[in-house]
Protein backbone atom coordinates (compact mmCIF):
# COMPACT_ATOMS: atom_id res chain seq x y z
CA UNK A 1 0.00 0.00 0.00
CA UNK A 2 1.21 3.50 -0.81
CA UNK A 3 -0.03 6.35 1.38
CA UNK A 4 0.17 10.07 0.59
CA UNK A 5 -0.55 12.88 3.04
CA UNK A 6 -1.21 16.57 2.46
CA UNK A 7 -1.77 19.67 4.52
CA UNK A 8 -2.80 23.06 3.20
CA UNK A 9 -3.16 25.81 5.80
CA UNK A 10 -5.93 23.98 7.65
CA UNK A 11 -7.12 20.96 5.69
CA UNK A 12 -5.17 17.77 6.31
CA UNK A 13 -5.77 14.49 4.54
CA UNK A 14 -4.40 11.21 3.35
CA UNK A 15 -5.06 8.87 0.45
CA UNK A 16 -4.23 5.16 0.54
CA UNK A 17 -3.52 3.31 -2.70
CA UNK A 18 -4.09 -0.44 -2.31
CA UNK A 19 -2.20 -2.38 -4.96
CA UNK A 20 -4.22 -4.60 -7.28
CA UNK A 21 -2.62 -8.03 -7.61
CA UNK A 22 0.36 -6.94 -5.49
CA UNK A 23 1.51 -4.20 -7.90
CA UNK A 24 2.39 -1.13 -5.84
CA UNK A 25 1.80 2.34 -7.23
CA UNK A 26 5.09 4.26 -7.56
CA UNK A 27 5.41 7.17 -5.13
CA UNK A 28 5.60 9.82 -7.88
CA UNK A 29 2.35 8.57 -9.43
CA UNK A 30 0.66 8.39 -6.03
CA UNK A 31 1.75 11.97 -5.28
CA UNK A 32 0.36 13.21 -8.61
CA UNK A 33 -2.97 11.45 -8.05
CA UNK A 34 -3.18 12.75 -4.48
CA UNK A 35 -2.55 16.30 -5.73
CA UNK A 36 -5.33 15.95 -8.32
CA UNK A 37 -7.68 14.60 -5.66
CA UNK A 38 -6.85 17.37 -3.16
CA UNK A 39 -7.31 20.08 -5.79
CA UNK A 40 -10.69 18.59 -6.68
CA UNK A 41 -12.04 18.54 -3.13
CA UNK A 42 -10.51 21.63 -1.54
CA UNK A 43 -12.05 25.06 -2.11
CA UNK A 44 -10.05 27.30 -4.42
CA UNK A 45 -8.99 30.69 -3.18
CA UNK A 46 -8.73 33.45 -5.77
CA UNK A 47 -5.97 35.89 -5.42
Model-level pTM? 0.68
pLDDT, averaged per 10 consecutive residues of the chain (47 residues), comes to: 83 85 85 87 61
Paired with 14 in beta bridges are: 5
Residue 32, pLDDT score: 92
Given its phi and psi angles, is residue 14 left (phi above 0), alpha (psi -120 to 50 degrees) or beta?
beta
Amino acid sequence: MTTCFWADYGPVGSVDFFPPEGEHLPVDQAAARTREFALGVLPCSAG
